Chains A and B, each alone.
Chain A
Amino acid sequence: MEATKYDVQIATINLVRQLGLAAIGGLVIIWLGGYAKDAYVAAITKPDSWSGTVLGLGGTVVSLLSPVGLSYYNFKYIRRFTETHIAAQIGRESELDPGRKSSGLASDGTDPPGGTLP
């Protein structure tokens, strides 16, 4: 199916949105990274401070705990549910209801390769 000018508009809006979010996120990360670096240097040069290793490890754990946890939850439960449930449903539906239409996603719940959508 040929994409119309409206479809191109929607794809463009999405692209601008993604680029805008990436730019804002990148700037905030750079600013916070610089702030963290200065605070880290100030902390380890203080005579009665925590050790640099403990502080570094603490910072790494604080930074990564929640995104890694969310990614793990997504991979472990949501994606697995989609893969197993949808695969089972496809078989059952195609047998009992051959006239039905599907979403067009790949059988593991991901988008079709090459960025093409049916």
Chain B
Amino acid sequence: MPEIQFLLACFGMSCVITYAVWLRFRVWRFRQDLFSIRDRMWAEMLADGTLDDPSHRQLRDAINALIRLAPYVSLMTMLNILITRQEVFTATLVRRNDLPAVLEARRQVVVRTAKYLLLETISGVLSLGLFGAFGMAHAIYRAVNVRIDWLLDTRAFEEIHLPATASV
């Protein structure tokens, strides 16, 4: 029936437009969640009187950088950071002695960022699905979590200063 074909084509166009809107929307949601995690951590540190703890300051800086760079954070950029900036990581890697509130906030940031990368875009879902076909989806998800945690440790996100001509 041509009526159904017409409506299905409209639905298809709707999906494409919705995905375009979603790509913007997910950045706002990601930033909102990071703001919430950062602010909850800050409130807990304030209550404990440990605002100036280095682990808190470092994680806050990393979250701020992630908030700022949210539109740029993708599987491709993460891969690029991991491959090209090896020497920076080895030079700046420090062992943590974080407070419990900071550890919990860090865990939440890692999980949220992994979700942002792998479950909120077609490319992420396809990648996960592809590895899932070989029974490796969980391993890949875990590996991405570990890499994000590592990047937070190495201050990689804070090191990024995008050129003025970059569009967001």
Task: Using CB atoms and an 8 Å cutoff, list the residues of chain A in contact with chain B.
Answer: 1-4, 6-11, 13-15, 17, 21, 25, 28-29, 32-33, 35-36, 39-40, 42-43, 46, 49-50, 55, 58-60, 62-67, 70-71, 73-74, 78-79, 81-82, 85-86, 89, 93, 96-97, 99-105, 109, 111, 114-118
Say if the beta carbon of B2 comes within 8 Å of chain A: yes
Q: B residues within 8 A CB of A6? A: 80-81, 84-85, 159-160
> How far apart sit A29 and B19, CA to CA, in the bound complex (Å)?
12
- A115 near B164 with CB under 8 A, answer yes
A29 contact from B16, B39, B165, Cβ within 8 A: B16
How many residues in B have their beta carbons less than 8 Å from beta carbons of A?
60
Within 8 A of A (CB), among B1-31: 1-3, 5-7, 9-25, 28-29, 31
- B22 near A8 with CB under 8 A, answer no
Task: Using CB atoms and an 8 Å cutoff, list the residues of chain B in contact with chain A.
Answer: 1-3, 5-7, 9-25, 28-29, 31-32, 35, 39, 42, 46, 51-52, 57, 60-61, 63-64, 67-69, 71-72, 74, 76-77, 80-81, 84-85, 159-168
